[in-house]
Amino acid sequence: MLMGADGGLADATAEAHIASGAAAVRAAADAIRANVSQVMVGKASAIDLLLVTLLSEGHALIEDVPGLGKTVMAKALARSLGVPFARIQGTADLLPSDVTGVSYFSQKASEFEFRPGPIFASIVLADEINRATPRTQSALLEAMQERQATVDGRTMPLPLPFLLVATQNPIELEGTFPLPEAQLDRFLTRLRVAYPTFDDERAMLYRFKEAQPLETLQPVVSGDELLQLLPVVRAVRVAEPVSDYLLKIVRETREHPAIELGASPRAALALFRAAQAHAAMRGRTFVKPDDLKALAAPVLAHRLVVSAQTRLRGQGAEQVIQSILDRTPVPVEKLGDDDR
């Protein structure tokens, strides 16, 4: 009886610890969102997806036309965290060493020294990544997956937190190299910034009339504080009916007649982790089906290969995923009162 009481007390203490951690995640996310919103007017949903990616320890692919603030958003996030930012411009002549760095002979020291490349920043913007050659694109795979870079046989860890934000223009395809499926699968989310509304664009004109808010943006959460929140995100509870709901969605992409290549097990894990981050950002200690529904398209769509007939009918991966969500039963009866 005493052991049961102690166990119950331990469970209650652990639950309270997770709850306080989730509240801290929510406070940090709100502060970063508000800070970035000073320079990104009316882009709360895009900022939220970027924060979900960051808290899930993943990477983001921003696919949209030029001039919508993709670079500004990445810079604003880095400044909000007070971490180093670097930019890689994708071009046909970009070499892997331009990304990872080079070893050179220092006459002063009479020995070889390593000059780190831009990949050794905490937040790296790979602008127009599809303009880089496949060889250079592959240089990013090790950094994205293992968070390390190997140069001249020497493997070096990347700084933490580490987030790669890649961009590509979906309209202008001349002189580009499409990202292979293996690399697309390593991006946790794909998001779009989209054009602002009339009111948001008018607010932007007046806000940027005299000064650039990005220049005066101050950190609101440190990189070290963010790292302390990551274990809290991973501790967010996912009930078995919710995880089964996730797996049904993922497995349906592999069997749907409109899809030639469905989501991989890596995609299922990505959706699982993203849902945990999405819940923690709202101060919850558990994942709801709504978290999965909100993230299914951003996490899964870019990993799917839709059939040619489906594309000819004007449907893309997002529409197919929505049809899967519409016909997949949402778990409700088996969830406890705290999970609803």
What's the angle, vertex CA 47, arms to CA 318 and CA 121, rounded to 5?
110
pTM (two decimals) = 0.87
Q: What is the DSSP string of 226-263?
A: HHHHHHHHHT-B--HHHHHHHHHHHHHHHH-TTEEE--
Task: Phi first, then psi: give them for residue 149, nearest 5 degrees.
Answer: -135, 140
What CA–CA distance (Å, rounded) separates 271 from 274?
5
Go through the domains of the chain in sequence order and give each one's CATH number: 19-91+122-146+158-212+221-232 (3.40.50.300), 236-332 (1.10.8.80)
Residue burial 1-33, b: 16+ Cβ < 10 Å; e: rest = eeeeeeeeeeeeeeeeebeebbebbbebbeebb
Q: Nearest Cα to 96, choosing from 145, 151, 164, 154?
A: 151
Largest CA distance in the chain: 74
State the Cα–Cα distance between residues 62 and 269, nearest whole angstrom: 21
pLDDT given for residue 6 in this prediction: 57
Mean pLDDT per segment of 10 residues, for the chain of length 340 residues?
52 74 94 93 91 96 85 93 94 91 78 88 93 87 89 88 91 76 89 88 84 86 94 94 96 93 94 97 95 96 90 88 94 56
